Amino acid sequence: MTALAVLLAALGALGNAIGARMQHAAVHDTMDGNGLGLRVQSKLVRNPRWLIGLAALGGGAVLHACALGLAPLSVVQPIGVLALPTTVLLNTRQQGIRVRDLNRNVLFAVIAATGGVAMFVFLAAGSATATPVAGDAQLMATQLVATAVLAVGVLAMLTRSKVRCIFFAAGCAIAYGYVSLLMRAVAQQLGTTDLLDINPLPLLGIAVAMVVGGWLLQHGYASGPPDLVVACLTVIDPLVAVGLGIGLLGEADLVSAWTATGQIVCAVVACIGVFALARYHPDTQERRVPAPVTGSSDLAGPSSTDRPDGSSS
């Protein structure tokens, strides 16, 4: 069952990568320098490319949910990191950049983020145990996630450019990590409870978290490149889900101290990869231009991503 779960999660990651690439392109085409206001958002829901991207993301979510019903949360969730190298390849191809021409720091960032989470999965697969998702755990997770998403959202409003992109994507990733926990709760009910007796609260939580996460995701697309958004999602999302699985569900009660230490190191390496990608991404480097008069080495002035709605200040 674990092998099948890994396969389904990998296919889901591919769907997420394709959906992210298409939705990012649709957002920027629709914005056209006018910001991501309500008018632009209303146009997005009628954009064929954005809708196809939504369908790809939905398909990836369904495959991921099926995987969650077959294996522990701490094993399935990190596999989504495969979306990162896929998105980088799609983005470089769309920009006409060959992989061998990428900055070595960018390649290091992708390898660090992907490899860190991959090793985390390897360690978790041999030690994690499947546990039920109790009602008390769901309530505690809701409180923790709501607080974290609110805090990250406020930070996103107070920052600029790529840092803002990271915070918006992080808020989405936290919400989606919570969704995975609730999906596992629903999957467990489907195997033991009649459809009419299923607790509707996890379904409500999934719906709210998906809407909030989706809104944050679109603003992440408007504030930075798609591979940076996906990097945040594929690293922070599994770390949140695994943290909930370990802290609230007790999936790692049998994990040794050495294994736990290795997992922490892998998580740190993955996070370093995300921030390195933010710093050395080609889009960031292009904005590092010298001022023609003062000779300042500061970053170029405000861009269309300086506000949450994408409008310039």
Contact partners, residue 202, CB within 8 Å, separation at least 6: 138, 182, 185, 186, 189
Contact partners, residue 66, CB within 8 Å, separation at least 6: 5, 8
Q: How far apart are CA 160 and CA 166, in angstroms?
A: 10
pLDDT, one tens digit per residue, over 227-237 is 778 778 877 88
The per-residue DSSP string of 251-270 comes to TTTT--HHHHHHHHHHHHHH
Residue 54 within any structural domain of the chain:
no
Residue 307 within any structural domain of the chain:
no
Structure token digits, residue 207: 């719906």
Q: How far apart are CA 240 and CA 120, in angstroms?
A: 13
Q: How far apart are CA 13 and CA 86, in angstroms?
A: 9
Residue 20 within any structural domain of the chain:
no
Spatial CA neighbour of 202 closest among 215, 191, 188 = 188
pLDDT, one tens digit per residue, over 5-25 is 888 888 888 888 888 888 878
Q: Which residue has the higher pLDDT, 299 or 172?
A: 172
Average pLDDT, rounded, for the chain: 76
Residue 173 within any structural domain of the chain:
yes
Residue 60 within any structural domain of the chain:
no
pLDDT, one tens digit per residue, over 41-92 is 778 788 888 889 889 888 888 888 788 777 776 677 677 777 777 777 776 7
pLDDT, one tens digit per residue, over 123-177 is 776 666 666 677 788 888 889 999 999 999 999 888 877 788 889 999 999 998 8
Contact partners, residue 10, CB within 8 Å, separation at least 6: 79, 82
Tokens 């607790």: give the residue: 199
By residue range, what is the domain housing residue 167? Answer: 73-283
Spatial CA neighbour of 160 closest among 310, 5, 7, 9 = 310
For the chain, the domain total comes to 1
Structure token digits, residue 40: 């632009």
Q: Indicate the angle between helix axes 201-223 and 135-158, nearest 10 degrees.
A: 20
Helix (H, G, I), strand (E, B) or coil at 231: helix
Residue 208 within any structural domain of the chain:
yes
Residue 132 within any structural domain of the chain:
yes
Residue 160 within any structural domain of the chain:
yes
Q: How far apart are CA 256 and CA 43, in angstroms?
A: 52
